[in-house]
A = this chain, B = another copy of it.
Amino acid sequence: MFDLVALDADDTLWHNEPLYRTARDRFCALLGDGFAPDLIDERLYETERRNLEHFGYGVKGFVLSLIETGLDLTGGRLAGDDIRKIIDWGREMLASPVELLDCAREAVEALASEFPLILVTKGDLFHQESKLARSGLGHLFRGVEIVTEKDADVYRRVMARYSVVPEHFVMVGNSLRSDVLPVLEAGAHAVHVPYDISWVHERVAPEALADLHFHEVAHIRELAPLLHRLAREA
């Protein structure tokens, strides 16, 4: 039934969002008590959202958004040393070890023994390639597609590239907005594997999910058994 199984990476195979949360906490601490964390979050997200069309996803754009938000909130009075610190956090985020989710390696190995796998991840090409290399999982994937946005057209192009029809393609990931909705729109299958925390940008209103059919597993280790069962039932 599945000619190709596609996996998301950030917060599906390895932890990612916590790095952004840590940077955000440091940013709040840097700005000090004069600014409520909620206000900082709101302004930061406004800046990030505005910058997405220019910078795309990833750490470098996030760092630039942190600097801009800091300058906005302080009326331009962010010290040079503080700006240096923010850039240092960015380098730390980019260099930080790839921490696989619990049982992710075993789950991907089990999948790879049964299905051709690809990785489909958005964000920064340089950083994502580096994380995949450091994850030690690279050899389990037949292909890696690093894309700038995950919409239905991008999934259609990925399927065309691998000569797979939507009925035989399944995408697995933690983001309803990126890994589930556009995949269903393209006529393919999707499995949602929720992660503890999510970036506000990736959230989806419950109404958007009404009448949609997709699968959900609580943990990635349940994925191979689910796909095995679906393939057998088909």
How far in angstroms is the closest Cβ of chain B from A184?
24
Using known A-B contacts A54-B95, A56-B126, A125-B124, determine if residue A67 contacts B83 with beta carbons closer than 8 Å.
yes
**A95 CB contacts on chain B under 8 angstroms:** 54
- A126-B71 Cα distance, complex, nearest whole Å: 25
Using known A-B contacts A67-B67, A68-B87, A78-B80, determine if residue A94 contacts B54 with beta carbons closer than 8 Å.
yes
**A71 CB contacts on chain B under 8 angstroms:** 80, 83-84
**A81 CB contacts on chain B under 8 angstroms:** 76
How far in angstroms is the closest Cβ of chain B from A80?
3
How far in angstroms is the closest Cβ of chain B from A198?
21
CB <8 Å contact, A67 and B55:
no
CB <8 Å contact, B67 and A60:
no
- A67-B91 Cα distance, complex, nearest whole Å: 14
CB <8 Å contact, A76 and B87:
no
- Interface on A for B, CB 8 Å cutoff? 51, 54-57, 60-61, 63-64, 67-68, 71, 74-81, 83-84, 87, 90-91, 94-95, 124-127, 129-130, 146-148
Q: What are 23 A-B pairs at a CB distance below 8 A?
A: A51-B91, A54-B91, A54-B94, A54-B95, A55-B60, A55-B94, A55-B126, A56-B124, A56-B126, A57-B126, A60-B60, A60-B64, A64-B64, A67-B83, A68-B84, A71-B80, A71-B83, A74-B80, A76-B80, A78-B83, A124-B125, A125-B125, A125-B146
